[in-house]
Amino acid sequence: MPTFHAHIPAQKFSSEEKRALADALNLALHESLNTPMDDRFIIISEHKEDELFIHPTFPGLQRSDKRMIVTVTFGVSRTIEQKRKLAELITRYAVEKVGVSADDVSLLMYAVPLENMSFGRGKLISDVDLAMPWVR
């Protein structure tokens, strides 16, 4: 159950662009971590000018007014190769599907133990006996 949270500037993205961003994140997840396409848990939050502070040029980048911070939380079992591919694909698909610059996408990844995650019904993922090879 990887979960994305994209923090974007308010009033800079259309509804279609926000949906395209969600689709880009989901596709990147599917292709890099081999998750099912319906393993889709995405939050997009808009922030006013006095709530989102991302330097436009640090460190040597050229960010537009559509700069964003994307966080993703997933299980600790992910390899460095999977993380590299996820980072690459998130950026590639955000550029292709949303039209932002590669410099606009800042990414933070959080790996947590499966006993800290639940799909629902009060059951931890680590306790659920389901055929979910993509989780491990």
Q: What is the pLDDT of residue 119?
A: 77
What residues does each domain of the chain span?
A: 3-127
Cross-strand partners of 7 = 45, 69
CA distance 32 to 54: 27
Instruction: Give me the torsion for CA of 73, 75, 80, 83, rounded to 10°.
Output: -40
- pLDDT confidence of 118, banded at 50, 70, 90? confident
pLDDT digits (tens, 9 = 90+) for 77-89: 899 999 999 999 9
3-state class (DSSP) for residue 31:
helix
CB 107 within 8 A of CB 87: yes
Q: What is the pLDDT of residue 123?
A: 79
Q: What is the pLDDT of residue 69?
A: 98
User: What are the φ and ψ backbone dihedral angles of 112, each rounded to 5 degrees?
Assistant: -125, 155
User: pTM for this structure?
Assistant: 0.88
Q: What is the pLDDT of residue 117?
A: 83
Name the average pLDDT for the chain: 91
CA distance 92 to 101: 9
Residue among 101, 99, 79, 66 nearest 34 (CA)? 79
CB 57 within 8 A of CB 64: no
Q: CATH fold of 3-127, please?
A: Macrophage Migration Inhibitory Factor (3.30.429)
Q: Is the pLDDT score of 131 beyond 80? A: no
